[in-house]
Structure 1
Amino acid sequence: MEKSSIEKIVEQALHDGYLTPTMEAEVGRICDSAFELSVEEYMALDRLMGALLTGEVVAVPRKQFINVMEELVLGEAVARVAEIEANSNQVLDLGDIAAYALNRLPPLYATTEEGAIYQRERAIADLHVLIAQQVKEAIERNQDRPQFHKERKVIKQKTEDTVLTQLNTLLQAYAPNYETKPE
């Protein structure tokens, strides 16, 4: 009998000593979509739970680092998209624009606030022109794109196609601590 994906994921986690967010998401997806789990799958999940409780397996937090380039691209994209939408009847997809630009720019990861400040200052000084250029190109591509792909599924459903809701969704996904709450 072939092992299920859950069993393989649990074996991998036990072998590595880590449960990554991707592994966790896949187990959740399988459990949510399965009509019924097998006895072996339940046993594997029980082994994983025990290993997590004893520390034999450590769950890796979702984000232990940030890509400073994401916030810089978002800032540039929001400014340009808001300007275009204010002066025309066009509605642009901020997520598509940011992703296009980010795929053409170097990542700037940081694990500490000090590292993020350093990366941000470095990028503003050395890469601002390149960021603006890639966002401009992304907007041009987005404006030229035909609107026949209505079947596309976005990563996170959005309720409205306004810049503000798109920005809010992207900030929640990319920078959950962007806006700190007063204590």
Structure 2
Amino acid sequence: LTKIIVLTLSSTMNMNFIKMNHPMSMMFIIIIQTLFIGMIIGNLMESFLLSYILFLTFIGGMLVLFIYITSIASNELFNIKINNWIMNSSFTILLFLFFLILDFTIMMDNFKNSDTKMFSKNFTFQEMSISLYKLYNNPTFMITIIMMMYLFLTLLVVVTITNIYKGPMRKMN
């Protein structure tokens, strides 16, 4: 049921994004869409680690974009139209019912093959754990550690370069 709700809201957000003309509302929809994508990936992978990392990366980029857009369009007003709101709510209800009926028919087909489904789940979990073992095992663990140290060093260099007491990075007129 949660997958149905997430898919319904995600589809509704896609339809709303087309109609938006204010940059702040577009950013808000992109941030919500990022949350939905993270939830969908977390449900598909059976481990929320990848979706959490992806979500944090996307949100970091979105916050930079959010600061840029707020400095550009700070005094524009939102125009909320009642007709669009009514149409979006009816579209959401219809889409929810469609996904609910679709999920019920797929679920009825899967009752016949429940053993196959359990085997598929176990195989996916074993496949994912094997790929994690490869990342931290003997030949590749040095590359992983070097990459972590490189990223930490890059973080320290960026913090040192952008020290707030030395002024802005660009020249002011």
Q: TM-score, normalised by structure 1?
A: 0.30
Who wins on radius of gyration, i.e. which is larger? 2
Higher-helix-fraction structure: 2
Higher-strand-fraction structure: 1
Q: TM-score, normalised by structure 2?
A: 0.31
